Amino acid sequence: MGQDNPDSVIVWFRNDLRLADHAALAAAVKANAKIFPVYILEDTVAGGRELGGASKWWLDKSLKSLRSAISQRGGKLICRKGDAEKILRDLIKETGAEAVFWGRRYTQPEIDRDADIKKALKDDGIEAKSFNTTLLTEPWAYKTTSGGYYKVFTPYWRAVRGNYEAPDPLPAPEKFDGIGIDGDEIESWGLHPSKPDWSKGFDEMWTPGEDGARERLQDFLDGPIRDYEEMRNRPDEDGTSGLSPHLRHGEISPATIWRAVMGRINRGLKEEESAWSFLSEIVWREFSYVLIYHNPKMGRENYDSKFNVMEWRSSKKDLERWQKGETGYPIVDAGMRQLWATGWMHNRVRMIVASLLTKHLLLNWTEGEDWFWDTLVDADPASNAAGWQWTAGSGADASPYFRVFNPITQGQKFDQTGAYVRHWCPELKKLPNKHLHAPWEAGRDVLKKAGVELGSTYPKPIIAHKEGRQRALDAWETLKEKQD
């Protein structure tokens, strides 16, 4: 049959590990083709980097979920490891497939690699098509009045809110052909950690896979969305959706989320602005992809080039104290310990810990981005880099460098009950709220009664807030002088 209607298609799953609302898969179904579902564990991904440990844990569970969903429909997920182009060519020979369909990725190394693969396949007479399977819209979809891309979030958000309409959902295939092509066992890839297995807290918090993603969305719509605007900055409350890792691995499409939330709005959800506030966070993710698509080096280099001469410090000791949650600032330490235990951290706390690293400690944002890349289950090449650069001051539409979060008042404001710090820093749980976010300000008797010995049971501050803030401001002034 001609390429317009191939008899058999390899559907190459990547960051889109689901069956519903999957444009590449739906196109193969529409062509009435025999479908070979394939996943390739490539040597490097996401901007030429290996997946971090937390993402590997998630991928292991997500692939097994996808494998099960395909198996229940009579098919088989073919898993291979290595060079994608070679593997696809091998599979074409083994299956007789006439086409390969896949979802696009947007970092420059991935764009270049996909272009090479597409050319090689077409040179072999194989149809190669890519689809948008991970974003609401392509990074080039919305342009400013001058014809450029958006560099500021608010007008981009207005453009999306005013113009985007989610397309009709694409149903999952009812069945696959049960064709037995050999592949690797997912278990043989060693994605799950061992010796030691540090993922116990992950298992308790997360259910990777398409079903888990839909359950998360439903739970959010049934409750927290109503108070999202008020509660989204409160780590001591369960006020967020928890959908970020599901989006990162493509177990649910952003269009599915958009349709579901808009359905609530259109049915007269009283807390409409909370719903729009949540959707704006979905669009922040989109904005990050706009930025990295148009600024390919943003994942590792400053968006604002003047930061190239920033005089960052180098301190392995300070970095390790930050990584381990031993900075002496309870809200920071709680966040870093939550990250290590669960693979996730509340977004407000991400900003606080990033500010401490890049401002108080004056360590390069790339040090923090590397740590998040390895430890976050939602580690995303665009969102991770954009978030770090926003806090560091070097990003697009960034927080000004001279804005230095006070980790004491941030804790008091957003962890008002103290539940967050007490959960993740149990050595402080007996401290009264008045002193919880600044234990060093408590008197000796208060500390003794709470069983807290600074420098022993809990660390003293890694640097005084006033000193760290001034050091950051001095560095900013030096940077400005270099531009003059």
pTM: 0.96
Closest to 261 in 3D by CA, of 294, 223, 225, 297? 225
State the catalytic residues: 281, 284, 312, 347, 365, 388
Is 8-133 in CATH node 3.40.50.620?
yes
Helical axes 108-123 vs 84-95, angle rounded to 10°: 30
Residue list for the binding site for FAD: 228, 240-244, 278, 378-380
Cis peptide, bond prior to residue 196, ω within 30 of zero: yes
Looking at residue 47, what is its pLDDT?
58
Please classify residue 36 by burial: count the beta carbons closer than 10 Å to its beta carbon, then call 0-12 exposed, 13-18 middle and 19+ buried.
Answer: buried
pLDDT tens for 84-133 read: 999 999 999 999 999 999 999 999 999 999 999 999 999 999 999 999 99
CATH architecture for residues 305-483: Orthogonal Bundle (1.10)
Give the pLDDT band of residue 1 (cuts 50, 70, 90).
very low
Mean pLDDT for 210-229 is: 96
Q: In the beta sheet, which residues pair with residue 49? A: 45
Task: Give the span between the Cα atoms of 276 and 161, in whole angstroms.
Answer: 9
Looking at residue 333, what is its pLDDT?
99
Task: Give the span between the Cα atoms of 130 and 152, in whole angstroms.
Answer: 28
Looking at residue 43, what is its pLDDT?
78
**Confidence check: pLDDT of 135 > 70:** yes
Give the pLDDT band of residue 378 (cuts 50, 70, 90).
very high
Residue list for the binding site: 228, 240-244, 278, 378-380
Is 135-169+208-294 in CATH node 1.10.10.10?
no
Give the pLDDT band of residue 402 (cuts 50, 70, 90).
confident
Looking at residue 46, what is its pLDDT?
52
Any idea where the domains of the chain sit in the sequence?
8-133, 135-169+208-294, 305-483
Q: Provide the mean pLDDT of the chain.
A: 95
pLDDT tens for 41-91 read: 997 665 578 899 999 999 999 999 999 999 999 999 999 999 999 999 999
Q: How far is CA 361 from the centre of its chain?
A: 25
